[in-house]
Chains A and B, each alone.
Chain A
């Protein structure tokens, strides 16, 4: 910290507010109360996890209104889909939620399989489940590390990335890529599991049990952590449903709903796991829910590697995919929430329409409700707790 004169920070905020008012030139912003100001946050702010721009209306340091400005990463993937064949579009979905590419790919492949009326072989479904659950752990680890970092806890980031690296190494061994994996193919898998996949997963899971305890030692009872997360960004269950929130955000508000249980896909119906739910719907509960989800994912992986059935890994789908005309909606429980694909076929090799229902986009909508009445510093915590990925928000 350099030397600061009293009032420096206030002046900095006020000057930002003034420019943002004149720049935008919108009339509503000239109607601020005497104590109110507009603060612009992002799109280059490190805590927005990408290029999210938030306009905050402040009364002193208290947020009284907010507006999210999104679209900086819009690439028009839904339009691109209409100009590609079904197989060609598969790698594009990895670039939406780029920290959980495997989950995106699973949802897309299963949606197209439903459209084609084929089913992936059992062996493929089990391997898909293992990789997707590892991806969930990796995604949650990234969330935990950056979320804690935003709030001021530096240490968990290094621990989380250490474990995440192990998962990415398994992906790399499996398909050659670490992030945008394109691990699955329509109809099953392209690659057979490598020889030591089970051993690698088992070793990771064995170590991971004590690693979660380490994270919890750092945070769960930490007074600063409690102070920064308890009671911050409360979303009641009725609000969560009304705003369409899904995934850990919905579950932390007390709604026990997980698509893996409600409408099982892949091989989830074969494994035992619990759905953790919160009660308060605050940032702390969302933290606890995601921590427990990592434990449950670990258990699913351990159950799955015990018995990977033998057999083919790819159903007979042919090289040219022409699904019969019609439409299908298929959604999976991605690490962030309900990831849905609504695909319309007109019987040609290219989809007529692909709609992607992104969990991050919909979850971000409850941001305004969660942030009102809190301090500016809590905005960072609330963005972090929503676990958004801007690639998916903007598509």
Chain B
């Protein structure tokens, strides 16, 4: 197994501060991954930014695991200039479950959360402007969900808007 439990000083500090809100700490291919409780994500993110100096939110995205009870992983990739270290923070969220917006912690989360909403339909509570960003506003469905069929959507759109059979 490439995934091993992680136990370093950072994990101990987070565990001491947040207790059970730290669900899991693992290491995969030498990259640290902390899974935290979704409801306390904003608070924990603030701690990572201010106390642990992970000041750059490199990326915010999601992964869909439809068979799991809470199907989405919201994934943050953080970077610390001071430590020259990366950290991945994950929060599991169910379909329709609200994830606290990190817009107030890292302003860059604004567009990244909009993209996650656009592609997965994850609702970020407290986001100032949660609209689709890459797809048109009238788009139906969330393309990066695993149960979203590319061809089906395409043929339906062509039929409805162009009135012809799709060549796909």
A residues contacting B by CB (< 8 A) are 70-71, 74, 76, 78-79, 83, 114-115, 117, 241-244, 246, 255, 257, 262-263, 324-329, 331, 338, 340, 342, 344, 352-353, 355, 357, 361-362, 365, 394-395
Please determine whether A257 and B81 come into contact, CB atoms closer than 8 angstroms: yes
Give the distance in Å from the alpha carbon of A49 to the alpha carbon of B28 in the complex: 39
Measured in the bound complex, the distance between the Cα atoms of B29 and A326 in whole Å is 8
- Interface of A, helix, strand, loop or mixed by DSSP: mixed
**Also in contact, A355 and B110, with CB within 8 A (given A326-B2, A329-B31):** no
* CB contact under 8 A between A340 and B58, given known A76-B143, A361-B111: yes
Minimal Cβ-Cβ distance residue in B for A328: B29
Q: Are B63 and A344 in contact (CB under 8 A)?
A: yes
**Residue in chain B with minimal CB distance to A331:** B58
Known: A79-B144, A262-B84. A355 touches B59 (CB 8 A): yes
Pick out which of these stretches binds chain A: B39-47, B92-100, B130-138, B160-168.
Answer: B130-138
The tally of residues in B whose CB lies under 8 Å from a CB in A reads 36
With both chains docked as a complex, state the minimum distance between the C-beta of B74 and any C-beta of chain A, in angstroms: 12
A-binding residues in B (CB < 8 A): 2-3, 28-29, 31, 33, 55-59, 61, 63-64, 75, 77, 81, 84, 86, 88, 106-108, 110-112, 119, 132-136, 143-144, 148, 150
Contact A244 B77 (CB under 8 A): no
Q: Is the CB of B63 within 8 A of A71?
A: no
With the chains together, A13 CA to B2 CA distance in Å? 60
Contact indicator B63/A244 (Cβ below 8 Å): no
Q: Are B59 and A243 in contact (CB under 8 A)?
A: no
Which residues in A have their C-beta under 8 angstroms from that of B28?
Answer: 326-328
The smallest C-beta distance from B147 to any residue of chain A, in angstroms, reads 12
Please tell me if the beta carbons of A362 and B63 are within 8 angstroms of each other in the complex: no
Q: Out of B57, B58, B134, name the residue touching A71 (CB < 8 Å).
A: B134
Partner of A362, one of B108, B136, B143: B108
In the bound complex, do residue A340 and residue B81 qualify as a contact, i.e. CB atoms below 8 Å apart? Answer: no
Task: Report the Cα distance A326→B59, complex, angstroms.
Answer: 18
* Residues of chain B lying within 8 A (CB to CB) of residue A243: 107-108
Chain A residues near B31 (CB-CB < 8 A): 327-329
Asked whether B58 lies within 8 Å of A263 as measured between CB atoms, the reply is no
How far apart are B99's CB and chain A's nearest CB, in angstroms? 17
The chain A residue sitting closest to B118, CB to CB, is A71
Is the CB–CB distance between B29 and A115 below 8 Å? yes
Alpha-carbon gap, A325 to B29, bound state (A): 11
Known: A243-B108, A244-B58. A329 touches B150 (CB 8 A): no
Q: How far is the CA of A357 from the CA of B59 in the complex (A)?
A: 6
The docked-state distance in angstroms from the alpha carbon of A355 to that of B107 is: 20
Per the bound structure, the CA–CA distance linking A145 and B24 in Å amounts to 50
- How many angstroms between the C-alpha atoms of A72 and B133 in the bound complex? 10
Contacts of B84 in A (CB 8 A): 262-263
22 residue pairs of the A-B complex, CB under 8 angstroms, read A70-B133, A71-B132, A71-B133, A79-B143, A79-B144, A79-B150, A117-B2, A241-B55, A244-B58, A244-B106, A325-B2, A326-B2, A326-B29, A327-B28, A340-B59, A342-B61, A352-B63, A355-B75, A357-B59, A365-B107, A365-B110, A365-B111
Q: A255-B81, A342-B75 are in contact. List 20 more A-B contacts (CB 8 A).
A: A71-B134, A71-B136, A78-B119, A79-B144, A83-B150, A115-B29, A241-B55, A241-B56, A244-B56, A244-B57, A246-B58, A262-B84, A326-B2, A327-B33, A328-B28, A329-B31, A331-B58, A355-B59, A355-B75, A357-B58
